[in-house]
């Protein structure tokens, strides 16, 4: 048996969780759970200048909302903490010094001004800008003397000068990158903080990470990391680089073209089940026609071998469809809880309290017509408050000269029906009313719907009337007669 599976999601706290980050976290989580392994959250905050207040708390809360629970991480201690990189500086500094002592890294004293000048010259010569290795061959004595004099310095790793590296990737098979395109990367900054490249290798090794599942944008950095593993004499993890997320026009997904923060989708009313299901399909598929999965079903099915390398298009229409499907898959009581939460957050009709049975009736009448929970209110406001006005196009089409008398006849007939008054009594009474005056049912059905709802479409008319009740139905008809006659 191989080593136990241990994976990590290692975001930088530079903002709220992006859907790309959610995808990375989800794939790591699904892989760990499918393999019976551990999922670790590590906060990579070595770039203190970009740290955003509250970002870590948002990351943790958003992952928990989505059902992605980490086994180890901030606030959930394991044997490999601390799980915040700014609390591990001594570890990185010791490893950087080890690399220098063994001749695999060196102190660099180049000033920002010199580096800018080198970059300008290279660009003028149409070369890719990179460090010119000016300090690479300084003697240990010279470096020590300059450091003792207080000269600021960084530590750079020594990349091989020529040749190429080939490595295996679960998703992309073999990847080859020439060393000449790789820089002598800074691994320890002058303020004692590591860069990503040193910290990620040290932490993945010390935290016994078995598989690194991350975005395609890290693919060019992988040779740098593998060189560091070689210098330290450590066994590298298995790599799997996920495909890019794309806009419908095949450009890289970005805020310029729409929402990217998970919070923005939450605030718009997307269900966590739908968002997780949708994000799982951004690069992965089960190999057949199935599209709707719960988180547990995704865990049961997930494998890295079914992740493709082509860019995954973020299709908002597909997400909306999935949201509607997941909402319909919930039973009425589950939807009732969500609807009550929405009404608490968006009070209307003078904060009127609605009975559970009434709201369950609304759910039953509308569930095939909604995409979001908010649609129960926004697409059928007449269930929650009387119409303030009436759709002019429907009035013009449906409100005829004989309509007021037909509605009065209907009200009179409704009032005369003895209790217990049932849903079918609304239809029976309507049919008797139009038969008496020799009219077609539609001549009363359409203006009646307009009178009670203010609009010309919606769920079944008799469902609406039964929910509103006889008294409210008659009251609304009277208001409509007063406003429209």
Q: Which residues are the active-site residues?
A: 255
> Residue with structure tokens 């080859």?
176
* Nearest one of 94, 115, 23 to 63, comparing CA atoms: 23
430-461 burial, b for 16+ CB within 10 Å, e for fewer? beebbeeeeeeeebbbbbbbbbbbbbbebbeb
52-83 burial, b for 16+ CB within 10 Å, e for fewer? eeebbebbbebbeebebebebbbeeeeebbeb
Helices (H), 46-195: 55-65, 89-101, 112-124, 140-148
7 DSSP β-pair partners: 39
The Cα 275–Cα 447 span in angstroms is 40
Q: 314, 253 in Cβ contact below 8 A?
A: yes
> Residue with structure tokens 């039953």?
364
456 DSSP β-pair partners: none
Q: 105, 156 in Cβ contact below 8 A?
A: yes
298: tokens are 């995704």
* Nearest one of 270, 254, 253 to 62, comparing CA atoms: 270
Other beta carbons within 10 angstroms of residue 401's beta carbon come to: 6
The Cα 409–Cα 394 span in angstroms is 21
Decide: helix, strand or coil at residue 158: coil
* Nearest one of 29, 68, 30 to 286, comparing CA atoms: 30
């Amino acid at each position: 048996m191989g080593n136990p599976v241990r994976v990590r999601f290692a975001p930088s706290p530079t903002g709220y969780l992006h859907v790309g980050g959610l995808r990375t976290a989800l794939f790591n989580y699904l892989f760990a759970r499918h393999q019976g392994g551990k999922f670790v959250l590590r906060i990579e905050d070595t770039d203190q200048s970009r740290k955003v207040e509250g970002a870590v708390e948002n990351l943790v809360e958003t992952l928990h909302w989505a059902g992605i629970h980490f086994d180890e991480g901030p606030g959930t201690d394991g044997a490999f903490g601390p799980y915040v990189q700014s609390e591990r500086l001594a570890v990185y500094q010791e490893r950087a010094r080890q690399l220098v002592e063994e001749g695999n890294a060196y102190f660099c004293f180049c000033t920002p001004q010199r580096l800018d000048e080198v970059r300008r010259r290279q660009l003028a010569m149409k070369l890719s800008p990179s460090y010119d290795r000016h300090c690479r061959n300084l003697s240990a004595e010279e470096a020590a003397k300059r450091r003792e004099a207080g000269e600021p310095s960084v530590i750079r790793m020594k990349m091989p000068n020529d040749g190429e590296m080939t490595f295996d990737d679960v998703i992309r098979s073999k990847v080859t990158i020439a060393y000449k395109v790789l820089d002598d990367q800074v691994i320890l900054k002058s303020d004692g903080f590591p860069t990503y490249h040193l910290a990620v290798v040290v932490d993945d090794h010390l935290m016994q990470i078995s598989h690194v599942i991350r975005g395609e944008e890290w693919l060019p950095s992988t040779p740098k990391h593998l060189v560091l593993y070689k210098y330290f004499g450590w066994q590298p993890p298995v790599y799997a680089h996920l495909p890019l997320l794309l806009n419908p026009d095949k450009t890289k997904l970005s805020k310029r073209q729409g929402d990217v923060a998970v919070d923005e989708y939450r605030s718009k009313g997307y269900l966590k089940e739908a968002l997780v299901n949708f994000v799982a399909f951004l690069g992965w598929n089960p190999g057949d026609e199935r599209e709707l999965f719960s988180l547990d079903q995704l865990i049961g099915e997930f494998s890295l071998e079914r992740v493709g390398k082509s860019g995954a298009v973020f299709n908002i229409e597909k997400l909306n469809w999935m949201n509607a499907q997941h909402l319909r898959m919930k039973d009425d009581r589950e939807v009732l809880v969500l609807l009550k939460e929405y009404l608490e957050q968006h009070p209307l009709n003078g904060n009127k309290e609605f009975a559970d049975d009434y709201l369950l009736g609304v759910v039953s009448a509308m569930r095939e017509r909604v995409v979001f929970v908010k649609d129960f209110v926004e697409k059928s406001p007449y269930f929650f408050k009387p119409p303030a006005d009436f759709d002019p196009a429907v009035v013009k089409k449906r409100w005829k000269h004989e309509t007021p008398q037909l509605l009065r006849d209907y009200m009179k007939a409704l009032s005369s029906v003895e209790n217990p008054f049932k849903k079918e009594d609304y239809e029976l009474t309507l049919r008797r009313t139009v038969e008496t005056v020799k009219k077609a049912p539609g001549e009363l059905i359409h203006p009646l719907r307009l009178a009670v709802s203010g609009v010309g479409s919606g769920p079944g008319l008799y469902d609406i009337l039964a929910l509103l009740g006889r008294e409210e139905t008659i009251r609304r008809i009277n208001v409509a007669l007063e406003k429209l006659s």
